Structure 1
Amino acid sequence: MTHLHITSWALGLILLIIAFVMYKKGSKAGKILHMILRLDYLLILYSGGDLIAEYMSIGFPEFPLLGELIVKLIAGLWVIVAMEMILVKTSKSKPATSYWVQLIIAAAIAIILGFFRLPISM
C-alpha cells in the first residue's frame, strides 16, 4: 500500500502543476484536470488511511511514535487542503502565494515523517 500512496501523491503533485499552468493560461483543461485531481485526493486518502490502519495494528502501548503519526496525518490533510486552495484561488485569478508556502511546509513535514521517522516505508 505504500507504493500506491507514494504514486498517488506524486500524481497529485504533477496534476497540481499542470492544472495550475492551465488555469494561468485561461484554458478549460485546467477545470478538467482540477476534477481529476479531486478524484486523486480520494486515492490519496484511501491509501493513507490504510497505512494509518497498518500503524494502528502495531498497538498503542508498543507504538512509541503515535504523536508523530498524528502529526503526519494532519500534515497530509494540510497538503491536500493547500493543493485545493491553490487551484481555487488561481481559478479566480487571486494570489495563492500563502498556500504555496503552506504546501511546501506541510509536504516537507509529511515526507520527512513518512520516509525517515515512521517504520513502514519503502
Structure 2
Amino acid sequence: MDFLASTHLHITTWVIAVILFLVAIAMANPKVVHMILRLDYLLIIATGLALFIKGMDYGQGMLYGLKFLAGILVIGMMEMALVKKQKGKPYTTFVILVFVFFFIALFLGFKLPMGINFLA
C-alpha cells in the first residue's frame, strides 16, 4: 500500500492522463489512445484512493475528500468530452469543465499537507 500511496506515482499518472487526453482530443480517431487513457484512469483512482486513506492521518479528511471528488469529476469530464467527440457532438463545454475541475484538484493537492507546497 505504501507504493500506491506515493505522491510521485499519483502525479506521474495524472500527467500521463493529461497528455493522453490532449493527444486524444487532437486526433481524428482516438480509439486506442482512449482505451489507454481508461487504463490510466484506473491507476489514478487507485493511487488517489491510497493517498486519500493515507491523508486521513493528517486530520483534514474533508479537504482530502473534496480533492478526491474533484479528481473523479476531472476523470468524468475527460471521458464525457472524448465520448462526445467520437459521436460528433459538441464537446467544448466538457473540455472547459475538465480544466476547471483539474485546477481545483491541483490547487487542493498543492495546498494539502501531503502535496508539494508551491503556494506557501
Both proteins in one fold, TM over 0.5: yes
CA distance in 2, matches of 1:41, 1:69: 18
Identity score, percent: 43
Unaligned runs of 5+ in 1: none
CA positional deviation for 1:43: 0.6
1:118 to 91, 112, 119: 112
CA distance in 2, matches of 1:79, 1:18: 16
Correspondence list, 1:65-76, <5 A: 65-76=60-71
CA positional deviation for 1:15: 0.5
1:103 to 90, 98, 103: 98
> Secondary structure of the equivalent of 1:45?
helix
1:84 to 74, 79, 83: 79
**Is structure 2 residue 34 aligned with structure 1 residue 34?**
yes
Whose radius of gyration is greater, 1 or 2?
1
Give TM-score scaled by structure 1 length: 0.86
Write out per-residue CA displacement over residues 24-46 of structure 1, whole angstroms, 9 at most, x where no aligned residue: x2x3xx10000000000011011
Unaligned runs of 5+ in 2: 1-5
Across the aligned residues of Structure 1 and Structure 2, the Cα RMSD in angstroms comes to 1.1
> Secondary structure of the equivalent of 2:13?
helix
How many residues of Structure 1 are paired with residues of Structure 2 in the alignment? 111
Give TM-score scaled by structure 2 length: 0.87
Write out per-residue CA displacement over residues 89-121 of structure 1, whole angstroms, 9 at most, x where no aligned residue: 000111112111211111111000001x21002
2:22 to 2, 7, 17: 17
Moved over 4 A (4+): none
